[in-house]
Structures are given as structure tokens and as C-alpha cells.
Chains A and B, each alone.
Chain A
């Protein structure tokens, strides 16, 4: 099953002589549970692609489907709803609310969606614990390191249990050690928690954590490479899948 696909996706900003074609005829297909890195020079359209995939902006032409539901022409209110339930976003600068604690930040999307705060925070705390922050639930962002803040942001992206995570340069503001941790964690989000993850990065070391790398240039897909997971890892995954089929 493919979670995310685009067909002939084109985005032109502005019009007339100042028009910029940020994306031109991009057709990609991402399988459920895949971890995809998107790379390419500055201005090649990576963020634009994520915005289109996440329904944050409308394509000029072409289609985007999330879990086989076309979203390009969807009315605003339905799109907002789909975005809230199916898609989690992670940004370079974390975008946490400074006056809220880690657990309040992580719970925010479902609190806004009407889940009772106690229940929402319980869910958020579970995700934070999975990411090694069980003892920092009540810290405010300014009391956390950059890597920890990004983990809170990833917990927040997952709290509504979306099937798709979109991350725009999630390690862009971190040193190499924290970057590795975040990349490893996103790989876990894809493999262990079975979410589709699409991540924009400039860092080759971070891209190497993915299952697949898509290279953009001037708004077009120019190359693509699939990275084999090691044989032992895939054997374990296969064993888990086979076990999972029994119950």
C-alpha cells in the first residue's frame, strides 16, 4: 500500500514574469512505513514538496494522495481535519511553546482536538518516554537541549497517531551527535512504530539513515537511490511480521 503519492505535481509561485516554478511535474510514490530522505541544493523545492504533501499549500497542477485519498482539491475544513489526524510535522526550529512543559507541548495537538487534558497528557507522556524523556515531562523548552526539544517535537507530531510524519531539516539546528540521535529516532518511528517518514535534509550522514533518497534539482526529481537495510535487520522485521500475522 502506498501512503503518499504525487502525480505530475507542479507548484508555481506568483505569476507573469516573476513566476517561480518551485516544483515541476513531480511524480513520486512512497510505500507505507518507508523512511525517505529528500535532498538537493537550496531552493530546489524540498520544502515546497513537503508543504504540498502535508496539505499546507495547494498545488498549481497535479495531484497528491495521502493513503489513497486525493487532497489537492479537498475543501479547507476537510483538509485541516485530515492533516490533524493523519499527518505529523517536525521543523528545524522545533516550534515548541515556551511557556508550556514538554508534556503539555507534546499533548497540544490532541488537546486542541478536544481530548481531555489528563488523557492527552497520558498519551503524550507515553511517546516522550519512548524517546527517553520520561524524567523531563515537566521541563520547559528553555530547560531542554536542542536534541531534547526536537524529541519533544517528534512526540508532539506522533501524539495523534498519524500514519505520516513530514520533517523539514529536523537536524538542521543540531550538532552531529544530537543529529545522529534524531535520525536514529526517526528511523525507529518508521521501523518500530511503522509510520511513513519523509525527511528533508542537507546532511549526507543523516540521509544515510533512510531507506531511500530522492534527489531534487530545479523542482524536478533527478535521481533516486534505494538503501538496503542490513540482512540481519530485515530478517528480524520479517520474523516480527510473520508473528504479527498470527494474531
Chain B
């Protein structure tokens, strides 16, 4: 949703063709190391936006090479964008891959003793510190006079990784207690249609 709406916004700024749109998006987020979109994603998104009536083709640009289709936002697209700006973004923290990995490692227990939950935590910690190290270097290399928005994006990423590391710290400190608790079990329901109660 976010890429789609961001592209919509960039087209509202002024009509563009796909190639230019991709360049504009990547510039906005501070380079493709932060958020890369593949050309194919741009073109499928444009096709879907067009199908939904949110953008229309508005001529072609033909310099040399193949013709480039230029897209512009429709009034419907404009309304969609307004709605996006007016709605808060959901924090997506419940479906956590690490959490599920950890639960599976707990469930497997001694079936795979060499990669227990402790190992999962360590591998994750190492990975997160590596990320934090890279983000910190990027942040400190950014120029606050011209790249302030990118600095804030990097700050957000840094704070999130920091929070994840603190969470891992908690998890590690209580790991023995976690291992001592029974794993959540599914409620087993009988298969098929429920039998009719006969009274």
C-alpha cells in the first residue's frame, strides 16, 4: 500500500513516466539502499492504479528509444491520496518472524539441540548489531544541511533496531523461565461437522 500511494503522490506532484517515477521514489527515500523498488513493481503498480481508475495515461514521451507512457492522477486518485494522508499507519509488530522462529525452536527442543533458542537469540543479536553498526555509519555520514529527512529515517531505523536489541536482552534474561513453561497447545476440535446433540 505504501509504495502504491507514494507513487500516486509523486504523480500528483506532476505527471511522469515509469522510469522517472522510480527515480523520484528512490530519491525521496534517500536512495535504493533504503528502499529499492524494481522496475517491474513500478509497472505493475501503474497498471493496477490505471485499472482502478486512479491514474490515466496522458500521452507519451518519445525522445530516442521506446515510447514512454506518461501517467497523471485522476480526481478519484486524488481522493484516495487524501484518505491515505488522513489515516494513521498501523504498527505491525505482532507477526514477528523472530518470535515465531523462537517458538518453533522451543517446540523442537531437544530434537535440534544444536540450534536451540539461545542460538536463535545470539544469531539475531549479531545480525541486529551488524545492522545497527551500518545504520550508525550511514547516519553519521549524512549531511544534516541537505539530508535531514534521510537522517530522520535512519534515526527511526536505529531506534527500532535498538528496541529489538533491548527486547532480545529481556528475552535472554528470562529464557530459562520461558523454557520451563509449557508451550501453547492448540485446542483440538473434532473434525468435520459438529454432531447433532440428541436429547
Determine how close the nearest CB of chain A comes to the CB of B124; give it in whole angstroms.
Answer: 11
Give chain A interface residues in 188-229, CB to chain B under 8 Å. Answer: 204-205, 207-209, 213, 223, 225, 227-229
Determine how close the nearest CB of chain A comes to the CB of B55; give it in whole angstroms.
Answer: 39
A180 and B135 CA atoms in complex are apart in Å by 13
Q: How many residues of B contact A (CB 8 A)?
A: 19
Q: Does B76 contact A (CB under 8 A)?
A: no
Interface Cβ pair total, 8 Å cutoff: 41
> Would A184 and B140 count as touching, CB distance under 8 A?
yes
> Would B132 and A205 count as touching, CB distance under 8 A?
yes
A210 and B130 CA atoms in complex are apart in Å by 10
Residues of A within 8 A of B125 (CB): 223, 225
> Would B137 and A233 count as touching, CB distance under 8 A?
yes
> Would B122 and A223 count as touching, CB distance under 8 A?
yes
Q: Mark B126-151, 1 if CB is under 8 A from A, else 0.
A: 10011011111110100000000000
Determine how close the nearest CB of chain A comes to the CB of B132; give it in whole angstroms.
Answer: 4
Q: Does A43 contact B (CB under 8 A)?
A: no
Give chain A interface residues in 52-70, CB to chain B under 8 Å. Answer: none
Residue in A180, A209, A225 whose Cβ sees the most chain B Cβ within 10 Å: A225
B173 and chain A: residue at smallest CB distance: A41
> Would B132 and A208 count as touching, CB distance under 8 A?
yes
Determine how close the nearest CB of chain A comes to the CB of B194; give it in whole angstroms.
Answer: 51
Residues of A within 8 A of B138 (CB): 230
Q: Mark A160-176, 1 if CB is under 8 A from B, else 0.
A: 00000000000000000
Q: Does B165 contact A (CB under 8 A)?
A: yes
Q: Does B101 contact A (CB under 8 A)?
A: no
- Majority secondary structure of chain A interface residues (helix, strand, loop or mixed): mixed
A168 and B155 CA atoms in complex are apart in Å by 26
Residues of A within 8 A of B135 (CB): 208
B133 and chain A: residue at smallest CB distance: A227
> Would B129 and A207 count as touching, CB distance under 8 A?
yes
Residues of A within 8 A of B130 (CB): 225, 227-228
> Would A213 and B137 count as touching, CB distance under 8 A?
no
- CB within 8 A of B162: which of A205, A225, A227, A229? A205
Residues of A within 8 A of B122 (CB): 223
Residues of B within 8 A of A213 (CB): 129
Q: Does B158 contact A (CB under 8 A)?
A: yes
Residues of A within 8 A of B133 (CB): 208-209, 227-229
Q: A223-B125, A228-B130 are in contact. Are A208 and B166 (CB under 8 A)?
A: no
A229 and B137 CA atoms in complex are apart in Å by 8
Residues of A within 8 A of B132 (CB): 204-205, 208
Residue in A204, A223, A228 whose Cβ sees the most chain B Cβ within 10 Å: A204
Q: Offer 9 A-B interface pairs, CB within 8 angstroms, sorted by A.
A: A204-B129, A205-B136, A205-B158, A208-B133, A223-B125, A223-B126, A225-B129, A229-B133, A233-B137
With A228-B130, A228-B134 given, name 16 new contacts (CB 8 A). Answer: A41-B173, A180-B140, A184-B140, A204-B132, A204-B161, A204-B162, A205-B136, A205-B158, A208-B129, A208-B132, A208-B136, A209-B133, A227-B133, A229-B137, A230-B138, A233-B137
Chain B interface residues toward A at CB < 8 A? 122, 125-126, 129-130, 132-138, 140, 158, 161-162, 165-166, 173
